[in-house]
């Protein structure tokens, strides 16, 4: 019985992966007193690879969503939060009062943020703002508070943003963090899981993420197992002869 071939990664994902591996191959690692010299380069490469992992996952998910004909997907678009929206979110207004709040959206006017993904869903007449997180590490409490604030602002102003930037009128606005591995410090009402996104959009995001992980892991293991892994030569600490 023939084995099923692994899913093909989209060219933008493989291109980003190749650039990442090439950068890791040439990485200059600073000494760390707790890391033995023989493991220094491997440690630096693995640490940097973990930080790069989020970008690869974001690209893989973006490409999977972009393939859906009913979706318009934009990566990290500039969104400007009017000062009045920040003021409204800071107030103790009720949810109904928040929904009835009136303000004007104008590009370039207000505090600038850049959500990871913005989607216009023609089937649902919706605009969705997504922040994609690996969901494996604790985040800074200050960053978490800012993320919560930004998401609440986006929920309030999403309809006006959609009309001003895309010329579409939507009836549904969502803004949430998607923790790819399931862990985030934001409240439950500001979270959305991978399986929920798959059901919402009809896209196989799990396969896209798994394929990216598998290929990146293979290339990373190949890099780390090279006989000569560009271990930096230690400079002699001896003083030159007088």
d(CA 231, CA 57): 29
Express as a percent the part of the chain with pLDDT over 90: 57
Paired tokens of 197: 């996104």
pLDDT band at 81 (very low <50, low <70, confident <90, very high): very high
Mean of pLDDT over the chain: 85
Paired tokens of 86: 């920040």
Paired tokens of 111: 């505090």
pLDDT in tens, 141-193: 788 889 999 999 999 999 999 999 999 999 999 999 999 887 788 889 999 99
Residues 6+ apart with CB under 8 A from 53: 134, 216
Q: For position 234, what pLDDT does the model report?
A: 46
Instruction: Quote the Cα angle for 73-75-81, to 5°.
Output: 100
Q: For position 241, what pLDDT does the model report?
A: 46
Q: For position 15, what pLDDT does the model report?
A: 96
Q: For position 14, what pLDDT does the model report?
A: 95
Q: For position 95, what pLDDT does the model report?
A: 58
Angle between helix axes 194-201 and 205-224 (nearest 10 degrees) is: 130
Beta bridge partners of 176: 130
* CA dihedral sign of residues 156, 158, 161, 167: negative
d(CA 181, CA 94): 33
Using a CB cutoff of 8 Å and minimum separation of 24, what contacts does 169-172 make?
169/125, 170/120, 170/125, 170/126, 170/127, 171/125, 171/126, 172/121, 172/124, 172/125, 172/126, 172/127
Contact yes or no for 37/22 (Cβ under 8 A): no
pLDDT in tens, 5-31: 567 899 999 999 999 999 999 988 888
Express as a percent the part of the chain with pLDDT over 70: 84
């Amino acid at each position: 019985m023939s084995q099923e071939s692994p899913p093909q990664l989209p060219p933008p994902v493989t291109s980003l992966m190749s650039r990442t591996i090439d950068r890791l191959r040439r990485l200059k690692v600073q000494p760390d007193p707790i890391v033995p010299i023989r493991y220094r380069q491997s440690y630096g490469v693995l640490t940097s690879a973990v930080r790069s992992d989020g970008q690869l996952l974001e690209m893989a998910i973006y490409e999977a969503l972009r393939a859906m004909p009913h979706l318009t997907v934009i990566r990290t678009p500039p969104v400007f939060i009017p000062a009045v929206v920040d003021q409204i979110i800071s107030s103790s207004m009720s949810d109904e009062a928040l929904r009835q709040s009136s303000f004007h959206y104008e590009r370039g006017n207000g505090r600038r943020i850049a959500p990871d993904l913005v989607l216009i869903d023609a089937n649902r007449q919706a605009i969705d703002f997504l922040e994609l997180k690996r969901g494996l590490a604790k985040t800074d409490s200050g960053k978490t508070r800012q993320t919560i604030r930004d998401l609440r602002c986006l929920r309030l102003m999403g309809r006006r943003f959609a009309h001003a930037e895309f010329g579409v009128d939507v009836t549904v606005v969502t803004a949430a963090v998607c923790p790819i591995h399931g862990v985030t410090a934001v409240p439950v009402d500001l979270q959305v899981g991978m399986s929920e996104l798959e059901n919402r959009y009809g896209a196989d995001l799990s396969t896209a993420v798994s394929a990216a992980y598998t290929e990146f892991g293979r290339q990373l293991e190949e890099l780390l197992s090279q006989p000569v892994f560009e271990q930096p030569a230690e400079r002699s600490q001896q003083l030159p002869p007088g």
